[in-house]
Structure 1
Amino acid sequence: MPIILGNIVAVSKEELVPHFFKSESTLYSNIQRYKDKPYGIKRVMSGGNGRQLLVDFDSLAGDIRDALHDPRKVDHILEQYYSVDPDATRYFSIYKFADGTYLKLDHQERYIINASVLKAALGLRDDRLNEWKSKGRSKVGLYNTIKADVLSFNDVLRKKYKVEHDLPTSSRFTATLNDFETRINDSFNYESLISKKHRNINSRKVNDSTMKLLNDMFADKIRKPTAKEIHEQYEGFISGYIEVVNNKTGELYSPKGYKSLSVSTVTNYLNRWENKLATHQKRSDDRQINMGKFKPYYSFEMPRFAGSMISIDDRQPPFKNLDGKRVWFYLAVDVGSRAITCAVHGDTKEGIILEFYRQMVRNYTYWGLCLPAELECEMSLNSSYKDTILKEGVMFDYVKMEANNARGKYIERVNEELRYRMEKGREGWLARPKALSEANQPGVDIEKVPRIPYKQIVNDCLLDIDKWNNAEHPTESGVSKWDFFLERQHPSLKAINYEAILPHIGIRTPSSCKVGNIRLNNGLCLIGDQGAVAKGERLIQVMKQIEGEDIDVYWLDDDQGEVLKAFAYVDGQCICELVKKPRPVRARIERTAADDLAESLLAAYTNTVDGFAKRQRDDLDGVVILREDAKPLKHQIFSQQKQYKYEDREPVVMPQIADVDDFDDDFGTYTSVRQSLKNRF
């Protein structure tokens, strides 16, 4: 719209191009052509440096002036008050109904025009009321004049702005104006202009109860009816010759209140996303297909370092061995480098999961690397380890288990690449009968596909892994996946926690410690400390705990069957690391530097124990035990009793007595000493 600058009316470039001039260059050329002439288009202000190009309105052609409208000429009283209300534009553009839907654009435009006209009408009303009061006129009939002005203003809106309002012209106009004027949060009541017909579901044929009935009928996973069959059943239901029973409540539906529907209406409603989301998943048990159709998926940036995350899963290469079975593989892919870092195989996936984690520790130990910081895996096989090795902080700092969610694991993409890019061309390859791509569907009967020996399948798959790892990294030109894996390990990775891992995946062997030697794997081990033979105070501390004791050794072998890592435990408590006992060559002439180092380690080990023993001996002082005389016992019954001792003696001959009567004693007289009861008291 033209603007007034003092006594000049100016028009911006945006109002002229492309409505009246095809391009900016056409406008500029016209300005230059009439620059020095007394007629023609003239420039008021040049553009640039934050200014906009302004053209003199009066210098434009008559048809352009008529189309743009001269703001100095007022054809209607409301033009002095009318302008598009920015608050109304903002309000209606972001307004949402209770179900979260927005207003359609045409409805937004209509409500913005209505609000702008009502705002102009309020300004006109206030000025007119003041004028009438100054003239002593009553305000009776004021709103009728405002209503008439608003009604006639539609002609101006159509002519100059190509729009029109649809405000009521009856007695409801005053109520509409008053409702709009009611302030809500220091703003006009814009919501009062929104029609109540929006979201009015009462007048719809397909209301919530009808939609639920259609969905319940369509969700039959046994018969799987079509939309046309559902329409026939529904029409039969409302006609009364079909009864419908709710399986959950046993309720018999009443046809009262349900309206007749067309086939297209039933089809359209059943095909709505919010209905398919439930019914299609109810009708199908294929979780992967349902997730692909209805479940939103995450999108992540790829890790920039190797070792940040590892993705693992099982797979069956598409080949049958000679007995008609397929080989199981369990793979690990470093997500940052895309390199496959661990692969084990077997007849069943349940039988290889433990060996898989053992092999992963072997590989990373052999390469001198830390285990990855994070693991993503499927839940079915790994859930049994969630409280042991897959507890966060044991093998991995972070663990993410996906329950039957193929899209949630990066390794699924690698498995697809192996299947279709590397294995597809080999003999015996089995196509998927339901593959989406026609090129991946079987071309011959699957039973006629040749079978491959087990060993050949395994060797070919391992060769594919090597080819995969040696291929170029997808985002790093000139760098293979394997080089990326070895050279760009994350700097914050932590050392392998063998002490916590081995009790769960290691081999348990009962043993004992005798003079610092522990038998293990048909050999001898010594007490270790951080991968080396222990000595000094650490050795003595451990010897105090396990010397002469029975211990449990949890250990892991390497690919050659030798001890890779071993730790000693007593009653579930980790005591120390065990290292293989060095064995230098006995003959000096055959010794190497390694033998000399081994002998020095043995000497340090032995000298530590000898030195401790000597210190212990030196700390011993001789003592004399002094005993005090025992205090006499109060009752010495048995200790003081004299014992009879038998001695051999000569017999003594007793003198013979001639006759008993020779004795003077009178043995015939007896005198009682018993007292009577009377004499006792």
Structure 2
Amino acid sequence: MPQLWNNILVVTKDELVPNWYKKENTLYSEITRYANKAYGIKRVQLGGNGRQMFISFDSLPPVVQDGIGDPRKLNHVLDQFYKVDGEAVKFFTNFKFEDGTYLDTEFQERYIINASVLKAIISLRSARENERRTKGNFSGAGIAQTLLSDAQSFNDILEKKYKVRHTLPPGEKQFKKTLKDFETIGYAGIISGRHKNANRRKVDDITIELLNNLFAGQPTKPTATEVHRQYEAFLMGYLEVINNETSEIYNPSDFKKLGATTVTNYIAQWSNKIGTHGKRSGDRQKFMQQFSPYHSLLKAKFAGSIISIDDRQPPFKMADGNRVWFYNGIDLGSEAFTCWVYGKSKEGIIMEFYRQMVRNYADWGFNLPAELEGEMSLNSSFVNTFLKEGAMFQYVRIEANKARAKRIEAYYRPLRYNLEKKRIGWLARPHALSESNQPGSQPAPTLSFNDIVQGCLEDIETWNNMPHSVHTHMSRWEVFCQKQNPDLQPTNYAAILPHIGYKTPTSCNVGMIQLNNSLFLLGDEGRIATGNKLISLMTHVEGKDVDVYWLDDNEGKVLKAHVYIGNQLICEAIEKPRYQRARIEQTPEDLANREIMSAYVATIEAYGRRQKKSIDTLTIIDNTPKPKKSFIMPGLKKQVEVVNYEMPEVFDEPEDDETPVLQSFGLKSLKDRF
């Protein structure tokens, strides 16, 4: 969020990197290039020594200004009510049709956005009705039209701020119906049956849809007369019209010729795209004082309620003068570090951080934390994927340029001065207030990368075994293990594996999938499928190429694997159970694995037998007239001697995994020889 500094509207580098500049060095190069020129990006305050670098907002390119948002300009009224609906994310990512298939990910995103906008519209409607009642007006006439106009104009804001657009109907009648269905039926009320098919058929009101899109879906805001001209040109083949939301190319042969009066009268029923806007202050501090009161937050009582994450560079240098990067996560209820990754640069560690978090919590047998708080710079590219509320976490709070909002910052200080300071090579702060924390007379020695990492991991281990600040009779790790929040939800793998998992193209043959040199069976909800469920899955994937999104655990084994065809989730892939061949060595686990595998095989074989029995034998009588023979083969009528041969008996071949039994034939005993 831009802020005022010395009467200049400024932004920080965290608001520009990586959204608008890939790396900090790219931003610095851009600043240096235009430093002595009358135009271009301008830096108004240097960073360092506890200060932040400020960049003039007005010197940024227009496209960057529009993307960040100018607080001096009027904002959209729906913006204060809109946020991604976490419950919608959970509903649509796990929604199944009657045949057990999932929604395509493209439609999941569309419905999540539509549901979030509809909830914002409902909140806006309540606010307007309350405002009317306070003024003595108890009539709701006209509110629906204003809500429709606000919904349509809000698409531009969604495009700029979130790079998404909603697909709510542009017509008042259809808009009212969609809103009513959403309020009465719920999330399922906005799912269209035609989205079940990859190639969607055109509906009866396709002409109305096209006219609405021509009138309201163009940035030039054409008049009714211009819409009629475009419609006529479209019918004659001079214009090609494509729906940007569905990628559907309209076919002129499906439309009838309409008169100008008909088009004009229809469009006259629509309201102009007029949104009611609220004026916002250009002074960020006054705005925060007016709308964001000071919070007094209580410490989390349970482990797993919230995790705070941030990056840091431990105060040790390598021989090349660089420092190691760590990305850590601390559970605020137990004060224990639960996730950590490291590297020589920031590149790639953030994605590995979230993978490692899933591995750790699965290894310990706990659900992922309910809430995440973190910084914007490295997480901005994930806010529309697995960091949406309801995906990996129930609640997500990503802050830019707000260190106090990340509780982990407060724990880094005791980690630095109580543990890391005792190690060789510790770097003091040049301007530390305490003399004991200032540099000594001798320069700190450099360390190898492995030595720095090993020391930091030992510090985390020591930290987790130290007494808890509230439960002083317990260590932080004991609090983490024994005081987990009972309301935590299971990990939503369907929402996160396509984004943080590894992708492996493979295929399904005989109900088995090859993955990482191992065989996997079809399953659902953590269990190997059998019965009708298995047959349903086989009809979707057997003999087809599939993509498996999977994640490994801390031992390198497959933790969770999901099978996709295109963008559609089909089922889980569960490792094929194995059991001991020798019966005397079989354990109860071996017997259970044998029972599961037998049920899996029996399901497929029984289905094959049923299919075989359902096929009836036919007799084919060929009544085709035979051609007249004008050529006769000499000697063809000569009797041919038929010799009957006795066919040898054919025995069933042993299974591949059975050891052949050696037998002796034709050997007589000594007694039988005489």
TM-score (norm 2): 0.50
Relative contact order: is structure 1 or structure 2 higher (C-alpha 8 Å, sep ≥ 6)?
Answer: 2
Larger Rg computed on CA atoms: 1
